[in-house]
């Protein structure tokens, strides 16, 4: 069912945003409907974060307008969020529920017999305000947030982000806006977020580089390209198919235009002797089509990592390695021998010790026990989470060239311009100052600066943070074709599946587990082992319920009759729902039905509930049958 039939919560019309000569939004328009779960995609620097800031009310466009439903409650998690450093985690999270707390305070201040109190009671129930404390506990536990009484100033960057995410979700807003919500979350927490958002009652628009997240959550993908929005119904896979078709049609249209120009060129060059109306019309048509701009092609150049020095027979060997911090064992007696060509993914919960292990492998930290033997020819190149500190006053060219117009690329040299094109920088952006780059462009620049140093053993700690999808794809291809060794710490399941040939998982209490193959295969083997060992999660029963479970019976006579009739009821209910949705889809809806909006919304909600309950009952009877 298309969400275009549901009410519009917010609409952006003819937005224009320019930064100097760069046009980020060019008369761009987009409507967000109730029930939308929009994945906003596009290259770094395309204007995704700018658009999210505009619709959240934090930024004004150069021109254009934003219209939203009266009383719309919006929550926004930005990449550059701020918290009150002097307050506790709990105080910061609860500040996101200010709207609900105001309703509760008003409710408590009124006389119990007041009519206004009954109206407030309905509003509080609508936002699930009576369960605010329970929701606080659920969010902080599920998102692995820090202890509620900790002061924010003492938190790490990842802990602050999880606190900010809890603050964004606690109000259960009508419109949820998320900019890279999966950054600094481990795979288990991301999977919880997927389930949480899949059942989200309002609308949601989010930017993420996590392709599995896009596939499982989005019911609509909106691409921001060349300052314009392109909307596709369905998830990320549907979008890729639609985009391929769109690009094919665009290419076919350009070929047709060029063919027309070639066929008319001789006629135009000869020039008609008589300026008859027909000839003049034909000439005007030619110049009109010749003046059209060809569709801008996406830059798609392969990123190539410098050819590494050949590794020796011994690359890196871990012998009964133990790693500990402040007396806590993170890795206990790990033995592993790296072979040339190994691409190892390291996964586990935040704080499990993944980065600490990496720093131990590099020799930055001493092991608590055991040893590491490094081959004579092994040369590390490390891209860490914090990355390099870039000079905002330098241009991209100056940052990479470091006083030269060429860069050393393995045993060869190449122009800075050519090198930067491999990281999706146009010549114009190569001359841009670093301080004017988007977050993703800065990440690509950092990768370019580090990877040019070469090395035959590349170590990447959360490389996918802040990279856009095109950049991720070229990085994946580069790593797959790299002849040396790769170790990557990541929560991006798609990235792990594409790149890695083995997974080392932190499973708690110093226990690590190695599996050949990609991340999905590791999960499959882990779950199978848990099942065979009897450690699968049991189904919880109510306390005190010691009654023996009865065997499920077959359908009774009355249940069979109900099942026989239920398909007809479903068809009737869906027809009723469709008729209501046709009313909402009417272009003159507000002119014809302005006084009936509340009534129609209630009818629409009731009709959806009837359809859902009938389907649930049908499924229940079919399963029993």
Contact (CB, 8 A) for 71 and 214: no
Q: CA 589, CA 291: separation in Å to the nearest integer?
A: 40
- The band of 551, judged by pLDDT with boundaries at 50, 70 and 90, is very low
pLDDT at position 143 over 80: yes
Contact (CB, 8 A) for 193 and 144: no
The sign of the dihedral angle between the CA atoms of 78, 79, 82, 87 is: positive
Contact (CB, 8 A) for 329 and 506: no
The whole-number pLDDT of residue 613 equals 80
Euclidean distance between the first and the last CA atom of the chain, given in angstroms as a whole number: 29
pLDDT at position 29 over 80: yes
3-state helix, strand, coil in the chain (%, to 5): 45, 20, 35
Q: How large is the C-alpha radius of gyration of the chain? A: 29
Contact (CB, 8 A) for 15 and 61: yes
Q: Enumerate the β-bridge partners of residue 28.
A: 15
Least confident of 67-81, 251-265, 507-521: 251-265
Q: CA 221, CA 242: separation in Å to the nearest integer?
A: 10
pLDDT tens by residue, 286-336: 666 666 655 555 555 556 677 788 889 899 999 999 999 888 899 999 999
Contact (CB, 8 A) for 440 and 398: no
Least confident of 43-47, 90-94, 339-343, 582-586: 582-586
pLDDT tens by residue, 81-93: 889 999 999 999 9
Contact (CB, 8 A) for 395 and 432: yes
What mean pLDDT comes out for the span 436-463?
82
The whole-number pLDDT of residue 303 equals 62
Mean pLDDT of the chain: 82
- Find, among 5, 10, 6, the residue nearest to 70 by Cα: 10
Q: CA 456, CA 461: separation in Å to the nearest integer?
A: 16
Q: Residues, the chain, total?
A: 625
The whole-number pLDDT of residue 298 equals 54
Contact (CB, 8 A) for 24 and 1: no
pLDDT at position 274 over 50: no
Residue, of 142 and 285, whose pLDDT is higher:
142
Residue, of 78 and 553, whose pLDDT is higher:
78
What mean pLDDT comes out for the span 593-606?
72
Rama region for 64: left / alpha / beta (φ>0; ψ in -120 to 50; rest): left
Q: What is the DSSP letter of 272?
A: -
What mean pLDDT comes out for the span 367-372?
93
Pairing verdict, β 175-179 and 203-207: parallel
Locate tokens 């206990």: which residue? 332
The whole-number pLDDT of residue 548 equals 37
pLDDT at position 357 over 90: yes
pLDDT at position 251 over 50: yes
Q: How many CB atoms lie within 10 A of CB 174?
A: 20
What mean pLDDT comes out for the span 181-197?
86
The whole-number pLDDT of residue 177 equals 96
- The band of 536, judged by pLDDT with boundaries at 50, 70 and 90, is very low
- The band of 155, judged by pLDDT with boundaries at 50, 70 and 90, is confident
pLDDT at position 538 over 50: no
The sign of the dihedral angle between the CA atoms of 98, 104, 108, 109 is: positive
DSSP string, 88-132: BHHHHHHGGGHHHHHHHHHHHHS-TT-HHHHHHHHHHHHTTGGGH
pLDDT at position 237 over 70: yes
Pairing verdict, β 412-415 and 457-461: unpaired
pLDDT at position 71 over 60: yes
Contact (CB, 8 A) for 438 and 180: no
DSSP string, 324-392: EETTEEEEEEEEEEE-TT-EEEEE--TTSSHHHHHHHHTTSS--SEEEEEE-TT--EEEE-SS-PPP-T
Q: CA 461, CA 443: separation in Å to the nearest integer?
A: 13
The whole-number pLDDT of residue 475 equals 84
Q: CA 345, CA 378: separation in Å to the nearest integer?
A: 19
Residue, of 279 and 465, whose pLDDT is higher:
465
Q: What is the DSSP letter of 299?
A: P
The whole-number pLDDT of residue 588 equals 63
pLDDT tens by residue, 578-597: 777 677 666 566 567 667 76
Contact (CB, 8 A) for 236 and 214: yes
Query: Does an H or E element contain 485, and which?
Result: strand 485-489
Q: CA 291, CA 310: separation in Å to the nearest integer?
A: 54
Contact (CB, 8 A) for 384 and 450: no
- The band of 443, judged by pLDDT with boundaries at 50, 70 and 90, is confident
Question: What is the distance, to the nearest Å, from the Cα of residue 100 to the centroid of all Cα atoms in its chain?
Answer: 28
569 to 392, 561, 609, 623: CA distances (angstroms):
65, 13, 13, 19
pLDDT at position 466 over 90: no
Contact (CB, 8 A) for 40 and 206: yes
């Amino acid at each position: 069912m298309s969400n275009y039939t549901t009410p519009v919560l917010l609409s952006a019309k003819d937005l224009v945003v320019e930064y100097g000569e760069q046009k980020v939004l060019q008369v761009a328009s987009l409507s967000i409907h109730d029930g939308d779960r929009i994945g906003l995609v596009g290259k770094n620097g395309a204007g995704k974060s700018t658009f999210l800031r505009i619709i959240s009310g934090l930024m004004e466009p150069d021109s254009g307008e934003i219209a939203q439903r009266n009383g719309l409650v919006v929550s926004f998690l930005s990449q550059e969020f701020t918290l009150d450093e002097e307050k506790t985690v709990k105080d910061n999270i609860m500040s996101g529920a200010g709207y609900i707390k105001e309703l509760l305070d008003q409710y408590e201040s009124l006389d119990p017999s007041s009519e206004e109190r009954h109206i407030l009671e309905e509003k509080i129930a609508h936002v699930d305000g009576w369960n605010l404390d329970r929701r606080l506990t659920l969010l902080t536990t599920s998102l692995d947030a820090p202890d509620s009484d900790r002061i924010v100033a003492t938190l790490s960057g990842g802990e602050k982000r999880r606190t900010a995410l809890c603050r964004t979700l606690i109000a259960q807003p009508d419109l949820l806006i998320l900019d890279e919500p999966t950054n600094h979350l481990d795979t288990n927490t991301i999977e919880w977020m997927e389930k949480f958002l899949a059942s989200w009652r309002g609308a949601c628009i989010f930017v993420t580089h996590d392709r599995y997240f896009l596939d499982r959550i989005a019911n609509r993908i909106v691409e921001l390209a060349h300052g314009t929005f392109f909307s596709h119904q369905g998830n990320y896979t549907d979008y890729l198919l639609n985009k391929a078709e769109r690009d094919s049609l665009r290419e076919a249209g350009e070929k047709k235009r060029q063919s027309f120009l070639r066929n008319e060129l001789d006629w135009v060059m000869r020039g008609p002797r008589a300026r008859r109306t027909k000839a003049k019309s034909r000439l005007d048509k030619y110049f009109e089509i010749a003046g059209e701009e060809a569709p801008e092609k996406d830059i798609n150049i392969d990123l190539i990592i410098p050819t590494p020095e050949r590794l020796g027979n011994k690359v890196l060997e871990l012998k009964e390695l133990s790693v500990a911090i402040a007396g806590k064992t993170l890795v206990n007696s790990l033995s592993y021998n790296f072979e040339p060509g190994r691409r190892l993914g390291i996964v586990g919960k935040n704080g499990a010790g993944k980065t600490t292990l990496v720093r131990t492998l590099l020799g930055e930290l001493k092991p608590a026990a055991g040893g590491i033997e490094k081959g004579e020819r092994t040369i590390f190149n490390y891209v860490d989470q914090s990355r390099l500190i870039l000079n905002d006053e330098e241009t991209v060219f100056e940052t990479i060239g470091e006083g030269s117009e060429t860069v050393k690329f393995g045993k060869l040299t190449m122009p800075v311009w050519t090198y930067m094109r491999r990281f999706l920088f146009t010549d114009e952006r190569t001359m841009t100052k670093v301080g004017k780059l988007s977050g993703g462009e800065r990440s690509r620049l950092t990768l370019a600066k580090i990877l040019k140093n070469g090395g035959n053993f590349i170590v990447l700690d959360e490389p996918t943070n802040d990279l856009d999808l095109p950049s991720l794809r070229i990085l994946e291809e580069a790593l797959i074709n790299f002849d040396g060794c790769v170790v990557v710490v990541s929560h991006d399941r798609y990235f792990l599946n594409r790149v890695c040939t083995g997974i080392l998982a932190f499973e708690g209490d110093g226990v690590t587990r190695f599996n050949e193959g990609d991340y999905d295969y590791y999960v499959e083997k882990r779950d199978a082992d848990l099942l065979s060992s009897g450690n699968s999660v049991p189904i919880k029963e109510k306390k005190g319920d010691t009654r023996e479970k009865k065997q499920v019976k077959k359908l009774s006579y009355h249940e069979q009759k109900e099942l026989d009739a239920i398909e007809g009821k479903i068809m009737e209910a869906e027809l009723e729902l469709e008729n209501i949705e046709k009313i909402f889809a009417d272009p003159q809806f507000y002119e014809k039905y302005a006084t009936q909006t509340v009534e129609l919304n209630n009818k629409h909600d009731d009709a959806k509930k009837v359809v859902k309950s009938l389907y649930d009952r049908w499924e229940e009877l079919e399963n029993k049958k």
